[in-house]
Structure 1
Amino acid sequence: MIKIKNSKAVRNLSDKSFKANKTRNIIAIIAIALTTLLFTSVFTMGIGAMESFQQATMRQAGGGGQGILKYINDEEFNHVKDHPLIKEIAYSRLLSEKVTNEQFLKRRAEFWYRDDVGLKLGLIELEKGHKPVAENEVISDSSTLQLLGIPLKEGAPLTLKLEVHGKMVQREFILSGWWKSDPAAMIARGQIYASKAYVDAHAEELRYTYKQDHDMTGAINADIMFDNSSNMRENLNKVITESGYSLDQNAPNYIASSVNWAYLSNTFSSNPEAVFPLATGLLLIMLTGYLIIYNIFQISVMRDIRFYGLLKTVGTTSRQISRIIRRQALFLSLIGVPIGLLGGFGVGKSLIPLLLMNNYRHAEVTLSPNPWIFIDSALFAVVTVMISAYKPSRIAATVSPIEAVRYVDGATKKGKKKLKKSTNGAKMPLMARVNLGRNKKRTTLVLLSLSLGLVLLNTTFTLSQSLDMNKFVSKSLDTDFLIAHADYFQEHFTGPDNATAESYIQAVQAQPGFEEGGRLYSGSHVFTIEHKENKEGKGEIVTPDTRGNLSAIVYGLEDLPLHRLKLIDGELDYGKLASGKYILEGVRLDNYDHPEMELSVYKVGEKVTLHNYMDTANAQEYTSHEFTVLGHVGVKSSNSGVAVASYTDFYLPANIYKTLVKKPVVMSYAFNVSDSKEKTMESFLKNYTEIKEPTMHYKSKFTSIAEFSGMQKTILMIGGTLSIIIGMIGIINFANALLTSILTRHKEFAILQSIGMTNKQLKTMLVYEGLYYVLGTSICSILLGSLFSVLIARPLSAQMWFMSYKFIIWPLILMLPVLLALGICLPLAIYSLSDRKTIVERLRTAE
């Protein structure tokens, strides 16, 4: 074969054919832009949410270090710091665990020293001023300074009351600089940082005693950065063991450590289930984009099939025809993809705050135009377009000139056609059904593209309705309200100094609508029990006393909190408990309320002896009380909270607990109110804790309900937005299919009208075709919606502790009237717009 340079001719043919298909081009560009918009918005939300969430969680977690060594001393720090795996290590020393200024009753503040690396990994960027140098210089976050009433001004004086090794000291400082508090860290502790000169001047006061008394004052937390965030746990363990220290909690050279949960890349790599929803979403978008773009090119090829047949008769090869169509597809992508990239980035960025739920909702969106968002989105979009254009280009390339010239939509079939005999006559519903059956593949594709948007919408509502408010609220609160000293909610309850005031309880009981309530007793008074071999208890570091016994926290519960305990095993016989011979052991619950039974110390029926030091000044005088373990109960934040490390927890009725201690302390008070008075009580508690007793605080289910509602809105907003976009693609596909069907059958319609079919009958037939599409879409979407609900929504709900799967189908039912309107209006509108020629002109169309 003689090779001829015909590339220019092929380009000219492609370009002129492209210009002649203006309607097809507009529809294709819209479809490609919408598909790219979907890809870009998903990538933008994914990358943007991870970046913003990571930044916010880093602040919540206390910094950007990948790992942290906890509660170490200078000697241990110096041994570890030169390990080859460490890229950077920060020196952060706690100077006072609690700043006791009255302004910090409801927002705890801590006093630290951080070196330069520590400030960097702590994400501290000063708005104004300089890092502290002199002994009396400090820096702080803006929220902490506002609470203290200190102006954001260099040189401003401030007084701090510090708790150092159990003693209270008051010192005067000067503000040398400040940084803006992150909105995501508003619930975190306030941070005040001193200079190295302060640490050196108070070296004796800041002595390290953690291993003797677990007082963290003077202890060092060392944030560590590795070369990357993969295998952080393994690298951290190597640093500890290869530096000569142990991972065994009971070893004398043990070093506690943890990895930073803010590094999502590590989370995703270790949790394939987290990748599944993203992969499913991308495949769904690719399928949606493929369906419409494939359909557009297939319809375009069918419409222009005579043109391609004529090209074949003048010598155009199959390969050249394929190149013509692929070139057009690429040119359409060059127009549609950039539009989709820009639109998708805007849509995705606007939806990121909705993904940052609860504490992170108000975090700053830190997303910059990441090039990978645009590269990946454009790549996925172009691949989708080329895959979609591949088969239509093959059809155009392989069709013979005779088949092309004789082509009528769906009428050209290989093989012998069977003649059908019918006694029904030319009824419009039957004719419409036969017409749809002439091109089964295209009909199926239109039904799928229409159904996908509805399926996603139904899945979105299924997930939002599966959010279980009772689970979400009861996680931290199983009554309407919980009141206590402000320190309790800062996880710093220690005993009489921050007990719940009886006046506060009486004020609550006097309010209208109060129904029932109960006190929870505990305190700084710690019991001890014998250490059991092979039992680590709660997993906390607990130092044995002189007799080798380990500390245990005992709680006394009045009837309401006692009856709210969740039984794990054994029995919850209140009569036996009231006898004073039985006790309940607490077991920590995970996020899914599954008990971590490996942390329990005693079996049901075992004897436990509590040693009670009645006189703390004389450790030799103590009494012992023997109990039988009646059962295990779940430990929640609402039935625990003493800020003392312990081996295990026990629960007793309040009247039994009071006989064991000299001065029982009320840790918290839980109560319920009538439904009609819940808001009134909320308002009363807010005013009371702000004016009457500002040291007291409260928690209500309304806060959790607001967070719960925010989660529902997030799912509905994001899922709804994607459903609308996919739905628009489906409607465009539907309209395009109808338009092509009508255009390619103009001659057929003319023949039917020439033998007596009226214009009204023709329109009725087209409406029936639209209604058959609606019926098929309804059946398809209900079947697929049910399948997605069971195979995707149910497993996803099972992975989330705050969800209880609910099967729903009503969103699909509600959308049926919209589909019905489309099925009637679209065929009539398209036919009216395309019916511009007379019957004679259409009959004269050359074959």
Structure 2
Amino acid sequence: MTWPFENDTGAVVKKLAKRSLASEKRRNLMVVIAVALAAVLISFAAILSASVAQIQRNQVADTYEAVFTGVEADHVAALKDLPEFARVGEYYLLGQEHSEQGYNASYVYCDSDMIHIARSQMELVKGALPVQANEVAVSEYFLSAYGSHAKIGETVRLDTESFRGDYTVTGILSNVGEKEGNICAVAVSKAALTRWGGFDPAGYRAYVHFQNAEQLSQEVMTACCRDIAARYGLPHVGMNSSYFAYASKSIDFAATGGVAALALIGGYVVIQSIFRISVQDKIQSYGQLRTIGATSKQIRRIVKKESRRLGGVGIFLGVLLGVLGGLLLFPKGFHGPYYGLAVLLTVLACWFMVSVSVRRPVKIAAGVSPLEAVRFSAGQERVRSRTKRIRLNPVSMGLENFRRDRKKAVSIAASLSLGGILLLIVSSVVLTRSPEQAARLYFPNGDYKIYLSSEQPEEEIMAAGNPLNDGLRREILSIDGVTDVLVTRQSLHAKFGTSAGTGAGMCDALTDENRQEVEAALVSGAMPADVHSVLLAASYQKDLAEMDVGAAMELSLGQETVTVTISGLLDPARGTSNGHGALGLDSVALFAPEELFWELHPEIENFDYSWSIVSDPKKAEPVEAGLQEILSSRSNLGLDTIGTRIAYEKMQSGLIFGSMKALSWLIFLFGVVNLINTTLSNQMSRKRENSILRSVGLTGRQLCRMNICEGLCYAAFAALAVLLIGLPIAVVVCREVSRQSFAGEIVPYQFPILEMSLFLLVLFGLEVLLSAWTVSRQRKQSLVEQMRAVE
């Protein structure tokens, strides 16, 4: 603001700032890079969070909120006529059958509404759904691998147990994960479904999508579905938890805030260091301005204008790169308002970072008197007083150069070590929770599991004769390399709940063999004291507060229902990680005494649900091949291997920890920018000083050694800071990760030798290269030219 009695010197200040910018291209470039790097990190982190949330919302948008299971075709037709529903999808899962050609065919029936609802999993990309009994819609993978590249209207041959013969292709499906699992989706017509030998008229599912679903709460939809189920006598209705979790999902500000904090700290250190060095180099120019009448306020405004222009350019470039990166990597996650919010937050955060970073340099520039400015010489920073004389040599002179400016040394070491500390912590966590160790939690006894895998209810399979029987056990034990077969789970699918809410999941039998393991997973309450007491997974209690210790609820195991009391809550992750497949969807939801199983289902002789196959690790290939051969003729059984679990854990750790390692190296780049700027500044400010040393006998090799020694001091102090600060933090973090991941067990800490060796190699190698390069640049000028240089 200019008062009426003041002269408006804004134009002069603007011109001086513009001239200053034109005279320091190196500094300008370093500041722009530092600001742009911070803006890229912050904007990309914010856009990543926004894109992931939007993609998850897109997955459930206009899909379904509830599913009615065990209904008949007439019930589905009645639901379609209800005004509450905008869309009702009719679905029937026939199950998987093994083909003689080697693939597993997954047979389904669905109508056009169901195809729309399930489009994120299975999409009709061409053609139409089948109508006649001899028509099918098959996947692209099936046609390319087993269907001789047939087209719509042509015939393909199926050779499974229930469907065998030539069928006309009416449509082509795109199904998720087919190639990886060698499972081919085949959609059959309703005519073919009703002729199928295993057809159950009450085996349909109805997936419903409400009118104006965005305006209705979960409680309203749940109550409405229960009223409809009671009105039509439908056996069960389940709510789509994914829909309610993702439909209103918000941006993960915690992760974005963490990345922003690291970026702002790194940017602050670097930008302040760059401007402080720039101000020191131009102190004499500021002094000349002061002698001709410039005020401290005007000097302050000049430096601030420089920082704002450079900051604006850096923010623009960084935001542009961050947004483009988000659009390229997550094109389906674009959301205009969220992207705009991410850009706005990035601009505000980076503008704040630049403003704070230049406060100290601005104060230095404005606070120096004209006389002090004229006497000041860049490169002649205040050096610590020495109490004794030292012997001059390239090493001691390099050490003195390192000690001459403490603030600069601390700034460089801090900016270099920040990325190293983060890299040390992340790499240590990766070693603590390796994919192999995480997978072994699911396979404590062997590398293979055989379990019931069928759309048919477990109690029906077991009542008809559980395939996990003595005959199968003998076949498995006959495989070369198999040493034992252990029963790991006795289980039935259960439905449970109170008047306030319901849930569904696997109910495992509490036996003498697993009692100690289950008790170790108990988080509250006590073990069951009678046959009608159960243990419930704590995650269900979080969603339904009524399901707490001491509460009564209805428990259905198959068609039989009984009232039970919740005696305790447990954490399934504490030693009871027993789900199958990569996602473990059939993990235990609750435990009930074994006697309750016999009470409700006396007709079942064997409740075995899952077996662990103990084998010789040296014979892994013949064991797995033998198990695959045995199970190929049994459609109700599935095979789970530790290799599948390891691959899944590697994918998960690669996504999480890989991105964290990339962030570590990006933070390290702040230090690299600071180091390059300081090295180049030293080259300019010490040009006359080095030429004088060379004129009195210092050789080029000694000058190189002196510069390398100074540079290695920066690297050594940065490495020391990484060890002194990062190592204790890494040990504490790894202990907590180990305790959470391995049911309280503390895994010995492992130092990430490979990652830190690479970090030190880059750190020290960069110092040597920069030091050697500065010396080579100085050698290109004669001593006379360097001594005449005006600083």
Same fold (TM over 0.5): yes
> Relative to 1, partners in 2 of residues 1:647 and 1:325: Cα closer, same or farther, differing over 3 Å?
closer
- Listed one character per residue, the Cα deviations across residues 365-406 of structure 1 (whole Å, up to 9, x for unaligned) are 735596446565555445534443444344333333322222
| Match in the other structure for 1:509 | 477
Match of 1:361 in 2: none
Secondary structure class of the residue paired with 1:285? helix
Match of residue 127, structure 2, among 126, 129, 149: 129
Aligned residue runs from structure 1 range 643-722, under 5 A:
649-651=592-594, 664=606, 667-687=609-629, 689-690=631-632, 697-722=638-663
Aligned pair 1:466/2:432, yes or no? yes
**Residue equivalent to 2:364:** 395
1:108 shift after superposition? 4.6
Letter in 1 for 2:648: E
Alignment of 1:693-772 (within 5 A): 697-749=638-690, 763-772=704-713
Alignment match of 2:175 (pick from 181, 196, 199): 181
Match of 2:24 among 21, 34, 53: 21
In the alignment, structure 1 residue 457 sits paired with structure 2 residue 457: no
What is the match of residue 773 of structure 2? 829
Correspondence for 1:315 among 293, 318, 323: 293
Q: Distance in 1 between matches of 2:504 and 2:706?
A: 80
- In the superposition, relative to structure 1, how do residues 238 and 695 fare at CA in structure 2: closer, same or farther (>3 Å)? closer
Q: SS of the counterpart of 1:494?
A: helix
Tell me if structure 2 keeps the 8 A contact 1:463–1:715. no
> Which runs of 5 or more structure 1 residues have no equivalent in the other structure?
83-87, 208-214, 353-363, 543-551, 572-581, 604-611, 620-628
Alignment TM-score, normalising by the size of structure 2: 0.72
Superposed displacement of residue 314, structure 1: 3.0
Whether the 8 Å CA contact 1:754–1:839 is kept in 2: the answer is: yes
Counterpart of 2:486, as a letter, is G
AA at the equivalent of 1:446: I
Distance 1:647 1:418, change over 3 A: closer
Q: Offset at 1:145?
A: 8.1
Letter in 2 for 1:68: A
Partners of 1:52 and 1:367 within 8 A in 2: yes
Amino acid at match of 2:662: T
Cα distance per residue 1:430-486 (max 9 Å; x no partner): 655554444322222111110012112112212211325344343377522123565
Does the aligned pair in 2 maintain the 1:112–1:191 contact within 8 Å?
no
8 Å contact kept, 1:36–1:341 = yes
The superposition leaves residues 123-159 of structure 1 with CA deviations (integer Å, 9 ceiling, x where unpaired) of 7754223578999998676568889969875567899
The whole-number CA distance in structure 2 between the counterparts of 1:150 and 1:665 is: 43
1:259 counterpart (241, 249, 253): 241
Indicate the residue corresponding to 1:92 in structure 2: 89
* 1:275 to 1:76, Cα distance in 2 relative to 1, 3 A: farther
Q: Residue in 2 aligned with 1:549?
A: none
- The match for 2:207 is 221
CA RMSD for the aligned pairs? 6.1
Matched residue type, 1:465: L
Q: How far apart, in 1, do the equivalents of 2:700 and 2:504 lie?
A: 87
Deviation, 1:11, is 3.8
Partners of 1:134 and 1:198 within 8 A in 2: yes
Greater Cα offset, 184-193 or 337-346: 184-193
- Counterpart CA distance in 2 for 1:745 and 1:440 is 17
Q: Contact 1:308–1:396 at 8 Å: present in 2 too?
A: yes
- Deviation per residue, 1:221-274 (Å, 9 max, x gap): 323476759xx8xx11134448995999xx9999643432685574557xxxx6
* 2:280 equivalent to 1:283: no
* Corresponding residue for residue 527 of structure 2: none
How many matched pairs?
745
Q: Give the match for residue 518 of structure 2.
A: 568
- 1:637-690 CA-partner distances (Å, limit 9, x unpaired): 4699999x99964448x9x99x97686586554221112112332233345545
Instruction: Report the CA distance shift for 1:598/1:450 in structure 2 as closer, same or farther (over 3 A).
Output: same
Q: 1:111 aligns with which of 109, 112, 119?
A: 109
Distance 1:173 1:762 in 2: 84
- The equivalences for 1:552-591 within 5 A come to 567-569=517-519, 587=535
Residue 783 of structure 1 is aligned with which of 711, 718, 724? 724
Task: Measure how far apart 1:304 and its partner are.
Answer: 2.1
Rounded Cα–Cα distance in structure 1 between residues aligned with 2:288 and 2:14? 17
Structure-1 residue corresponding to 2:467: 499
What is aligned with 2:524? Answer: none
CA drift at 1:13: 3.0
Give 2:763's aligned residue: 819
Superposed CA offset, 1:295-347 (max 9, x none): 22222222222222223333344444444444444544565455545655676
SS of structure 1 residue aligned to 2:421: helix
Aligned pairs for 1:165-176 within 5 A: none
Tell me, yes or no, if the aligned pair for 2:381 and 2:404 is still in contact at 8 Å. no
Q: Which moved more, 1:376-385 or 1:676-685?
A: 376-385
Q: Is the 8 A contact 1:33 1:337 kept in 2?
A: yes
Give distance in 1, aligned partners of 2:399 and 2:660. Answer: 34
Q: Partner residue of 2:41? A: 38
State the alpha-carbon separation in 2 of the partners of residues 308 and 239 from structure 1: 71
2:410 is matched with: 444
3-state secondary structure, aligned to 2:175: coil
Cα distance 1:302–1:670, how it changes in 2: closer, same or farther (>3 A)? same
Counterpart amino acid of residue 289 in structure 1: G
Separation (CA, whole Å) in 1 of partners of 2:134 and 2:627: 39
Q: Tell me, in whole angstroms, the C-alpha distance in 2 between the residues paired with 1:120 and 1:482.
A: 30
* In structure 1, distance between residues paired with 2:752 and 2:415: 20
Aligned to 1:483: 450
Residue 236 of structure 1 is matched in structure 2 by 218
- Letter in structure 2 aligned against 1:406: R
Give 1:128's aligned amino acid. K
C-alpha separation between the residues in 1 aligned to 2:679 and 2:585? 70
Aligned: 1:384 with 2:353: yes
Tell me which amino acid in the other structure corresponds to 1:223: H
**Amino acid in the other structure paired with 1:282:** A
| Code of the aligned partner of 1:479 | G
% same residue: 19
